[in-house]
Each structure stands twice: as C-alpha cells, then as structure tokens.
C-alpha cells in the first residue's frame, strides 16, 4: 500500500487554519508554518508538526500547500531567505491563494526551474464557513498529472474541485467568481440598507426571500450579519475582496466592460479608507449607511 504524501502547509490564517484542521481530521500528516507563529498553535494542538522556516517545512514534505494573503507573500515563502526553493524533495506546490493569473504562471515557471516542482493553482470560494465545513469550491489550474496528484489532498477541503485548464486557469476562473461574489456582496448591502431605511424588518429578509430569485448563498450568509450589525467570526475581509476586484480590473482593462465591478470596488475602497480594511466584508453595509 502506497503511503500517503506528507503535506506541508504554509499559512494558518482565517482560511488556512480550518483547512489544516480538516487535513488532520482526514488522517494526513501535516507540517505547518506561519509568519506569526502563534497563529499555528491550534493546528499544532490538533496534531500538526511545526517548521521554523518554509524551507524546513518543504524538506519534511512531499507536497507543499499554501493559503496566503497575496502574490508577494507567496513569492516570499517560495524564493525569499529560507524559502521553499532552497529545499529538495517536494514534488508539487498547491497554491490555494488568489493572485493575478500571469503572476501565477511566472512563479510556477520559476519554481519548476529551481526545484522541478509542479504547480497547481487552486483558489477557493465559500469563505470561512465552507473552509470550516470542508465544503469549499476549488477551481484548479495545472497539468492533468499534477491536478490528479492534488485531488486526494484537496478532497478533505472541498465539495467540488474542477480542473479549468493549465496553470493560471484556476486563478482566472477565481476572478470570474469574484466578479459575481463581490458585486453580490455590494448589492446585498444596498438591499439591507434600503430595507432598514424603508421600515422593513431587515432581520427577516432571508426568511422572506428564501427560494426566490433574490436568494443566494451570499445573501443567506451576509444579510443577517448586515441587518444585525454582527460582524464577529469574519467571513473574509474587505481588503481581500478589494484586492481580488482590483486584479479583475487590471486583467479586464481594455477588453471587458466592468461597470458593476467598478461600483463594488468603489464601495470596498471607501470602506478601507474608513478603517474597515481588515474587518469582515459585511461591514461594507456600514459604509453605505454612512453615505445616507
């Protein structure tokens, strides 16, 4: 019987930590690293080993996975001092972060040249509730061989993994997802504020509209939080969504009209300027309310 690959996981933040816990619960051997070491403590308590550097993590792993804030963070753990590229042994890098598709392709080529590692870009959708439940949606880019190797490791994390094409295709599909998600978030905030200003009990909107054309998973998750102004246990931050929508605008510049995305970006940028960058995405409703 072939022994399961050893997994190294870089990043134990809002999304990364529940992914690690699900991998451990599925019986995988996991070594973790996080820039702020204390954030890895719950994973270690659940049975993960901890590495002092990304290079040390890679040396102890057959497959390295990462869920980090942005492209610069991914590049740093791969090619910075003590980075993954200094280690020998890992066969595959699976990136669950979100970034520009061309950046993904450039980093993948650089990593393959330095170490021979394959690359699967596997950005996720579903927020922290799906990360905790192991029901994320993953859109993957990579060779058939590399995606097939990654699938068993992604199974404890996701309800669905769809291969969209070669390296970078997963990231491009994530941008499509973020257009729909980001604009929906802005519209839900607008609807909740409209209801509250019009005398409608906004806390009952999800019940009233369930099953109709206005219903959706984002609506069911976000509307109650916005109506109650309860932003505990964040679903994701304003800054993270703005980062992705800014990437959409960059990729689409000159060949795709993005009026709805531009409006959502403006609301999220305004929220960041008001000090809500690292707060729950639902706080964009507060920014809209302050306009009135």
CATH number reported for the structural domain that contains residue 68 in this entry = 3.40.50.720
**182, 235 Cβ separation under 8 angstroms:** no
Tell me, yes or no, whether 160 and 15 share the same domain: yes
| Range in 1-5, 53-57, 230-234 with the lowest mean pLDDT | 1-5
148 pLDDT tier (thresholds 50, 70, 90): very high
Q: Which residue has the tokens 């993957």?
A: 140
pLDDT (tens digit per residue) in 189-199: 999 999 999 99
Q: Which residues contact 214 (CB under 8 A, 6 or more apart)?
A: 191
Is 41 a domain residue?
Answer: yes
Which of 166, 181, 200 is where one domain is finished? 166
Q: Residue 196's domain spans which residues?
A: 172-291
For residues 8 and 110, what is the distance between their CA atoms, to the nearest angstrom? Answer: 20
Domain with residue 201: its CATH number is 1.10.1040.10
Tell me, yes or no, whether 48 and 103 share the same domain: yes
- Tokens of residue 89, six digits: 């042994």
Which of 112, 135, 166 is where one domain is finished? 166
- Tokens of residue 257, six digits: 């009209």
Tell me, yes or no, whether 56 and 121 share the same domain: yes
The answer, yes or no, to whether residue 2 has pLDDT greater than 70, is no
Is 219 a domain residue?
Answer: yes
Give the number of other Cβ atoms within 10 Å of residue 281's Cβ: 30
24 pLDDT tier (thresholds 50, 70, 90): very high
Is 17 a domain residue?
Answer: yes
Q: Which residues are catalytic?
A: 174
Is 2 a domain residue?
Answer: no
Is 1 a domain residue?
Answer: no
For residues 167 and 75, what is the distance between their CA atoms, to the nearest angstrom? Answer: 16
- Give me the number of domains the chain comprises: 2
Tell me, yes or no, whether 12 and 124 share the same domain: yes
pLDDT for 1 equals 40
Tell me, yes or no, whether 68 and 191 share the same domain: no
Tell me, yes or no, whether 13 and 58 share the same domain: yes
Tell me, yes or no, whether 151 and 283 share the same domain: no
- Tokens of residue 219, six digits: 């609506």
Tell me, yes or no, whether 223 and 78 share the same domain: no
282 pLDDT tier (thresholds 50, 70, 90): very high
Tell me, yes or no, whether 115 and 160 share the same domain: yes
Give the number of other Cβ atoms within 10 Å of residue 131's Cβ: 25
For residues 43 and 25, what is the distance between their CA atoms, to the nearest angstrom? Answer: 11
Tell me, yes or no, whether 42 and 127 share the same domain: yes
pLDDT (tens digit per residue) in 194-218: 999 999 999 999 999 999 999 999 9
Tell me, yes or no, whether 90 and 116 share the same domain: yes
The answer, yes or no, to whether residue 3 has pLDDT greater than 90, is no
Which of 108, 138, 166 is where one domain is finished? 166
Give the number of other Cβ atoms within 10 Å of residue 130's Cβ: 21
Full-model pTM: 0.93
- Taken as a whole, the chain contains a residue count of 292
Is 268 a domain residue?
Answer: yes
pLDDT (tens digit per residue) in 65-100: 999 999 999 999 999 999 999 998 899 999 999 999
Tell me, yes or no, whether 52 and 145 share the same domain: yes
């Amino acid at each position: 019987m072939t022994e399961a690959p050893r997994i190294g996981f870089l990043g134990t933040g809002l999304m990364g930590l529940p992914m690690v816990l699900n991998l451990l619960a599925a019986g995988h051997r996991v070594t973790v690293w996080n820039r702020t070491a204390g954030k890895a403590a719950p994973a270690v308590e659940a049975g993960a080993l901890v590495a002092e550097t990304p290079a040390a993590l890679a040396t102890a792993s057959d497959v390295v996975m990462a869920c980090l804030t942005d492209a610069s963070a991914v590049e740093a753990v791969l090619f910075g001092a003590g980075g993954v590229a200094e280690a020998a042994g890992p066969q595959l890098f699976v990136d669950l972060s979100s970034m520009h598709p061309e950046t993904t392709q450039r980093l993948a080529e650089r990593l393959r040249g330095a170490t021979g590692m394959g690359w699967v870009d596997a950005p996720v959708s579903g927020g922290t509730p799906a990360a905790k439940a192991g029901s994320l949606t993953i859109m993957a880019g990579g060779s058939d061989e590399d995606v097939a190797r990654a699938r068993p490791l992604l199974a404890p994390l996701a309800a669905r993994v769809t291969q969209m094409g070669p390296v970078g295709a997963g990231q491009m599909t994530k941008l499509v997802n973020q257009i729909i998600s980001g604009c929906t978030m802005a519209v839900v905030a607008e609807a909740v504020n409209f209801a509250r200003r019009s005398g409608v009990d906004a806390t009952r909107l999800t019940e009233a509209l369930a099953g109709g054309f206005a219903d959706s998973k984002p609506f069911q998750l976000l509307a109650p939080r916005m109506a109650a102004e309860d932003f505990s246990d964040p679903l994701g931050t304003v800054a993270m969504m703005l980062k992705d929508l800014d990437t959409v605008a960059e990729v689409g510049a000159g060949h795709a009209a993005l009026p709805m995305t531009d409006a959502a970006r403006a609301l999220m940028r305004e929220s960041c300027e008001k000090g809500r960058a690292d707060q729950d995405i639902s706080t964009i409703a507060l920014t809209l309310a302050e306009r009135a």
